[in-house]
Amino acid sequence: MSNDFQLRKATPSDAAAIQGLIVELAIFEKEPDAVKTSIEDYATGLEEKRFDAILAVDIDDHILGMAFFYTTFSTWSGKALYLEDFIVREEYRGKGIGKLLFEAYLEEAKNCGAKLAKWQVLDWNELGKSFYRKYNTEVHLGWENWLIRM
């Protein structure tokens, strides 16, 4: 499979495809109407370096999957890289793309000097949890996610 795709960094011209992946992920997560970001939001965010993404693309540059992340800071540990969204299009799953994307994200965390690589998994996503357990992960149970929509 490694000859059928390659990894590359996202550019602002990938904004529409990124939004499409995010919508696909929202549908998978049973929140089909939750995505409020625009294509312009993604293009601007990439231009301003607010976030980054590693894309898996085929030989025709069609996007097969993505690791979408940004730098944050842990008051207990220091610099962290937060994996906001991680998706491989359904028809390309099971081909090693997710493994290479995730490992590229971890390498990015090491290369930027992050002390932590962080992400969340929905409690019902057993396939996702099984995937992450293959790595040296820690699960911090007991924390609830709180937010205010502005």
By annotation, the residues acting in catalysis are 132
Summary count for the chain: helices (H), strands (E): 4, 5
Q: Is the torsion defined by CA of 107, 111, 113, 119 positive or negative? A: negative
On whether the CB atoms of residues 67 and 86 are closer than 8 A, the answer is yes
For residues 32 and 30, what is the distance between their CA atoms, to the nearest angstrom? 6
Q: Count the residues in the chain.
A: 150
**CA 107 to chain centroid:** 14
